[in-house]
């Protein structure tokens, strides 16, 4: 059994589910989800994947304790502290993501592991893309308001723009770690798309609409701009993003998935070169090769 620990918001959960789907499929074993993080009192996030056509059982607390017990047995071995970097991942019961870029050795693990990490690269699920796309369809119809936007998006050369602020601004540790994309980035990205798609219609997705509306310089030169507002939930915004023809990402896993779920081979996607403001992570595997970093 492969168990994937979910934590964070919708975008993070999708990455954590995707790696679990590939490993469990390749190993011909069951996938379960560990939702224990969302039971903590100080956690403001919640489980989001139940709106999709995902049929994955939830791991019990007893199953999680078994992983933890086995992990303690490994870490208690004499000399573990000195040699842990040399120990193959498959020896561990709980596999912590060792670094931010792709880890090829993850494909050599056995059937009984708990995965903990962000796993933010398409390289962890390239073998199950058709199944993943099928699973990440909604169980229910879009709300009337969201469907109204979907109809409008389908009738024009739609380009999604994601502007992430929220906790990137209000929570000091997130502001220091991530920061927000600059006005210059959005100006360069919109002009880049306009030179290729002169009749582009930009659809703005943001968690701080009031701020965005008071900063029109973000889209200077863009004649057609629609703000997405009053949708039912974040998953509707994600689906609406995916219905756009092209995409301008924020440094956010949410807009990463909004762009990835667009299955068109002709899509143009721009992403910021700087994903983390305050951490020296290697993000070379984060953005697929066909996407453009600006």
Cα angle, residue 254 at apex, residues 43 and 137 outer, rounded to 5°: 100
pLDDT at 232: 85
pLDDT at 220: 85
Quick check: helix, strand or coil at residue 162? strand
Does residue 179 come out as left (phi exceeding 0), alpha (psi in the -120 to 50 range) or beta?
left
Q: In 155-249, where does DSSP find H-type helix?
A: 166-170, 172-177, 183-196, 209-213, 234-243
Mean pLDDT by 10 residues, the chain (294 residues): 94 97 96 93 84 95 86 62 58 83 90 93 97 97 96 97 77 68 94 96 94 91 92 94 98 96 96 83 92 96
Structure tokens at 270: 């721009």
Cα angle, residue 148 at apex, residues 145 and 154 outer, rounded to 5°: 145
Q: What ranges do the domains of the chain cover?
A: 2-133, 141-293
Q: Rounded distance, CA 42 to CA 37, Å?
A: 10
Strands (E), 60-157: 94-96, 113-116
pLDDT at 90: 67
Domain 141-293: give its CATH architecture: 3-Layer(aba) Sandwich (3.40)
The contacts of residue 14 (CB under 8 Å, 6+ apart) are 49, 136, 253, 257
Strand 201-206 versus strand 158-163 pairing type: parallel
pTM of the full predicted structure? 0.92
């Amino acid at each position: 059994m492969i168990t994937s620990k979910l934590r964070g918001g919708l975008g993070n959960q999708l990455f954590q589910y995707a790696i679990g789907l590939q490993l469990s499929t390749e190993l011909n074993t069951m996938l379960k989800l560990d939702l224990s993080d969302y039971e903590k009192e100080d956690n403001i996030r919640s489980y989001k994947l139940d709106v999709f056509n995902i049929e994955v059982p939830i791991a019990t607390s007893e199953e999680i304790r078994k992983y933890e017990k086995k992990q303690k047995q490994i870490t208690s071995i004499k000399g573990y502290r000195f040699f842990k970097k040399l120990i193959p991942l498959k020896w561990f019961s709980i596999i912590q993501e060792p670094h931010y870029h792709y880890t090829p050795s993850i494909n050599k693990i056995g059937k009984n592991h708990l995965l903990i990490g962000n796993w933010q690269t398409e390289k962890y699920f390239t073998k199950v893309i058709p199944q993943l796309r099928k699973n990440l369809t909604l169980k229910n119809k879009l709300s009337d308001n969201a469907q109204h936007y979907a109809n409008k998006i389908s009738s024009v050369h739609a380009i999604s723009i994601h502007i992430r602020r929220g906790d990137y601004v209000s929570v000091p540790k997130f502001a220091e770690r991530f920061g927000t994309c600059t006005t210059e980035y959005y100006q360069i990205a919109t002009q880049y798309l306009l030179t290729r798609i002169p009749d582009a219609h930009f659809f703005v997705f943001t968690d701080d609409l009031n701020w965005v509306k008071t900063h029109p310089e973000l889209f200077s030169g863009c004649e057609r701009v629609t703000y997405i507002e009053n949708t039912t939930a974040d998953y509707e915004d994600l689906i609406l993003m995916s219905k756009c023809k092209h995409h301008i990402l924020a440094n956010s896993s949410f807009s990463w998935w909004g762009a990835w779920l667009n299955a068109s081979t002709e899509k143009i996607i721009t992403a910021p070169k700087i994903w983390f403001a305050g951490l020296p992570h290697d993000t070379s595997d984060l953005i697929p090769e066909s996407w453009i970093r600006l």
